[in-house]
Structure 1
Amino acid sequence: MPRRRLASRILLISPADRLLLLKIRYCTGALAGRCYWATPGGKLGEEESFEAAAIRELHEETGIEVLSVGESIACSEFLWQMPDGEQVIAVERYYVVHSNNEHCSTVGWSEQEREVVWEAKWWSESELEDCHEEIFPANLLTLFVQARGPCVPW
């Protein structure tokens, strides 16, 4: 049975009602040639809660600091292949944060992120609808529409 990999993902929404996605592209390893768009986020650290991981990952991947991410709006479990080829059961919770601008800092990126993240882009709902590239999660457009509710201040 594959191990469970716990992760937090963030739907970061700008004042212009656009969603930040990162373009992930692998050039080497088991995922060489794989390319897709995904929300900021990542795996939980040792004994870290989903909420704490969301706050940390948001800061590391965008430079935005928040005190809270509120309750998760969705959770998913699926089989996923890691860059080293390991198959895991990915368990992801999704959180919403409303940004006060469309700035994204790369200062906190790890070496691995610098290798695989090729672009950061703010997407409108219509751009997501028209996109023919792979986007994770598959129901991101539905989550984005659902997420346009009360703000989580930062």
Structure 2
Amino acid sequence: MAADEPAVRRREAARVLLLDAADRVLLFHGFDPAEPARTWWFTPGGGLEPGEDGRTAALRELAEETGLTGVELGPVVAVDLAEFCYDGERYRQHQSFYLARTTGAGPAELDSSGSPADERAQLSEARWWTTDQLRRTAEQVYPERLAELLDLVLSQGPPVPPVRL
């Protein structure tokens, strides 16, 4: 690493593939505060806090970002190593993707007021996506193979062991 390059922040993260009754997945649209024109869609979730396990972090993040509590979290269906820059910092993030479903016939009512204000300010939209919409979009979606993963989960059930993205 060159002297002028920022250090890489390593962290563990838990993400949630939250499906509704119509098999649509919830994604958030966000941007990098250091590069506001760079936007992408991503699953709910975030970094583990000290002493926290992945399942606990996934449920905490889901509650903060959506207002949904009492969600039954399923198994880890995928794991990933994401390397990215965000707000001028470099990250190397090991992340696990948990499967979960909303209850009820329609999409859940979302409330992000439990998220820190700086995180809420960087989210512009929440949307439920079908796998077909994911395959057709020209917008950046993370994880990049999300449509393929959802096709697998919906057609064959949760993979054992989890898929490596």
User: Which residue is equivalent to 1:2?
Assistant: 8
**How far off its partner does 1:71 sit?**
2.5
Pair 1:52–1:123, CA change in 2 (3 A): same
Q: 3-state DSSP class of the match of 1:72?
A: strand
Separation in structure 2 between the aligned mates of residue 122 and residue 41 of structure 1, nearest angstrom: 16
Give per-residue Cα distances to partners, 1:24-73, cap 9 Å, x unaligned.
123x42x3321000001111111111111001011111111136523211
Instruction: Name the structure 2 match of 1:107.
Output: 113
- Which residue of 2 is the match for residue 88 of structure 1? 91
Matches of 1:22 and 1:82, distance apart in 2: 16
**Higher-strand-fraction structure:** 2
Structure 2: unaligned runs, 5 residues or longer: 1-6, 159-165
Quick one: distance in 1 between partners of 2:18 and 2:72?
Answer: 13
> 1:69 aligned to 2:73?
yes
Give the Cα–Cα distance (whole angstroms) in 1 for the partners of residues 55 and 119 of structure 2.
21
Q: Contact between 2:9 and 2:89, CA under 8 Å: does it hold in 1? A: no
Sequence identity of aligned pairs in percent? 33
Question: Quick check: which has more Rg, 1 or 2?
Answer: 2
Q: Is the 8 A contact 1:63 1:106 kept in 2?
A: yes
Instruction: Using the TM superposition, name which of 99-108 and 33-42 deviates more.
Output: 99-108
| TM-score normalised according to structure 1 size | 0.87
Give the structure-2-normalised TM-score.
0.81
Offset at residue 97 of structure 1 (A): 0.4
User: Contact 2:81–2:93 (CA<8 Å) still a contact in 1?
Assistant: yes
Instruction: Pick the aligned partner of 1:57 from 58, 61, 66.
Output: 61
Aligned amino acid, residue 57 of structure 2: A
Instruction: Report the Cα offset of residue 107 of structure 1.
Output: 2.4
- Gapped runs of 5+ residues in structure 1? none
| Alignment RMSD (CA, Å) | 1.7
1:73 is paired with a residue whose SS is strand
Q: 1:139 aligns with which of 130, 134, 145?
A: 145
- Aligned partners of 1:57 and 1:43: how far apart in 2? 8
After superposition, the Cα gap between the structure-2 partners of 1:126 and 1:67, relative to the gap in structure 1 and judged at 3 Å, is closer
What does the per-residue CA deviation read over 1:68-115, in whole Å, with 9 as the maximum and x for residues that have no partner? Answer: 5232111111321121x1212111100010112412222212112221
* 8 A Cα contact 1:35 1:134, kept in partner: yes
* One-letter amino acid matched to 1:54: A
- Would the aligned equivalents of 2:15 and 2:58 in 1 still touch at CA under 8 Å? yes
**Does the CA-based 8 Å contact 1:51-1:68 persist in structure 2?**
no
